Amino acid sequence: MTQRFDDARILMYSHDTFGLGHLRRCRTIAHSLVEDFRGLQVLIISGATIAGAFDYRARVDFVKTPSVIKLRNGEYTSMERHIDLNETLRMRQAIIRRTAETFQPDIFIVDKEPLGLRGEIEDTLSYLKARGTTLVLGLREVMDAPDLLEAEWRKNDVMRKIGLFYDMIWTYGPPDFYDPLVGLDVPPTIRARMKFVGFLQRRLSHAELPGHRPEGDYILVTTGGGGDGADLIHDVIHAYQQDPTLKHKALIVLGPYMPARKRQKLIAKSAGIPFIKMIEFDSHMEELIAGARAVVAMGGYNTYCEILSFDKPALIVPRIRPRQEQLIRARRAAELGLVQMLLPEEAEDALRFAAELKALPSRPRPSQSAPDLRLEGLVHISEIVGDWLEQRSVRHLALVEGRS
């Protein structure tokens, strides 16, 4: 569907305080759009500390803001501990506004946080709205438990401001999977702007295969960014220790945000198990998931899309605090037969976990449970952007003809 639209610019915002999910989702969308529209430029604003560790296609670039991390209790702190959080937020806000002024985007896509981290993009939204930029809010198919999301949004007057600023709301999932705003009082004017685009399909990049990908069959164990993934990795290792009949090769990806002390403990704990190989990070997770027999994960949005895209049997052990997003997604997917699920306390039972791990490669793939499942999010986003660009061309032509 490659078309040519010259000088169209899309700015994306990814707050990135805990993990890699927001940046990876933005990057996936950006790469798909520049592939479909050769005249398009995409700039991603990201707070991810390792934004530069990923490769970016031509006409996709990123601007790094100072990093803020989310603690397990839900509070925030500056990545650089000697800098005050409020000072960091002021720097981030200034960088975001200046980037918008300089880049002058036609479309601004905001990932998940309607007003940004602590309201840091509200000023930029007002500026871009005034100059006619089309403002898009992109929501995961699952945000959080309705009562928690409603309380958070009510406190910051978020629903009213969504109605004030945003022209479109894209939900990155199909309508029959989950509604991110279920249980909230959503005005009809906002509902009318929502489009369920579908899950975002992943493809192989055809880059050189990661050198640490094991030969033969293996189970991939991933915790995403890894900031809160140590418990799952510990339970996997413990299952191998307690059940000598568990002999599947396992490649464990710890994640770049796992605290160093926990990482060292887990490496030491797994040292005597010949079936386990452990690495810290890989920027081409798609290749590792595509090559695996099965996947064990906490079930963040991107990993879930990759499990579906590459049709892998999966065992999900979701995070349940401070957000319930992974738990809600895992329960719904298990209900549909797409994945197996264990609660964290169930995974602590080493023999039960070992039995699940042994059975996992023989479990049904998602396509066997849901043969009609389609991942069409990227296709639908390109259709929406294509329609917008076409309308812009028509408006521009009408303006030119009106002047002549």
Which burial class, exposed, middle or buried, applies to 133 when counting CB atoms under 10 A from its CB (0-12, 13-18, 19+)? buried
pLDDT band at 17 (very low <50, low <70, confident <90, very high): low
For residue 19, the model assigns a pLDDT of 67
For residue 6, the model assigns a pLDDT of 55
Task: Look at residue 146 and tell me whether its pLDDT is greater than 90.
Answer: yes
For residue 80, the model assigns a pLDDT of 64
> Residue 168: helix, strand or coil by DSSP?
strand
Average pLDDT over residues 73-80: 63
- Cβ(300)–Cβ(268) below 8 Å: no
C-alpha span between 366 and 264 (Å, rounded): 35
Q: What is the pTM (predicted TM-score) of this model?
A: 0.93
List, for residues 194-203, the tens digit of each pLDDT value.
999 999 999 9
C-alpha span between 237 and 19 (Å, rounded): 22
For residue 215, the model assigns a pLDDT of 75
Average pLDDT over residues 67-72: 71
C-alpha span between 350 and 68 (Å, rounded): 35
Percent above pLDDT 90 for the chain: 76
Average pLDDT over residues 130-158: 97
pLDDT band at 396 (very low <50, low <70, confident <90, very high): confident
Torsion of CA 381, 203, 250, 248, to 10 degrees: 110
For residue 360, the model assigns a pLDDT of 98
Average pLDDT over residues 248-259: 94
C-alpha span between 197 and 381 (Å, rounded): 7
Place of tokens 């928690």: 148
Task: Look at residue 257 and tell me whether its pLDDT is greater than 70.
Answer: yes
Average pLDDT over residues 365-374: 92
C-alpha span between 105 and 43 (Å, rounded): 9
- Helix, strand, coil shares of the chain as percentages rounded to 5? 40, 15, 40
pLDDT band at 71 (very low <50, low <70, confident <90, very high): low
pLDDT band at 216 (very low <50, low <70, confident <90, very high): confident
pLDDT band at 166 (very low <50, low <70, confident <90, very high): very high
Instruction: Average the pLDDT over each of 17-21, 148-152, 155-159, 302-306 and give the range with the smallest value.
Output: 17-21
Average pLDDT over residues 80-104: 90
Average pLDDT over residues 175-191: 97
Average pLDDT for the chain: 92
Average pLDDT over residues 333-345: 97
For residue 236, the model assigns a pLDDT of 98
pLDDT band at 53 (very low <50, low <70, confident <90, very high): confident
Instruction: Average the pLDDT over each of 60-74, 113-127, 156-170, 263-277 and give the range with the smallest value.
Output: 60-74
Distances (CA, A) of 369 to 275, 333, 342: 30, 10, 19
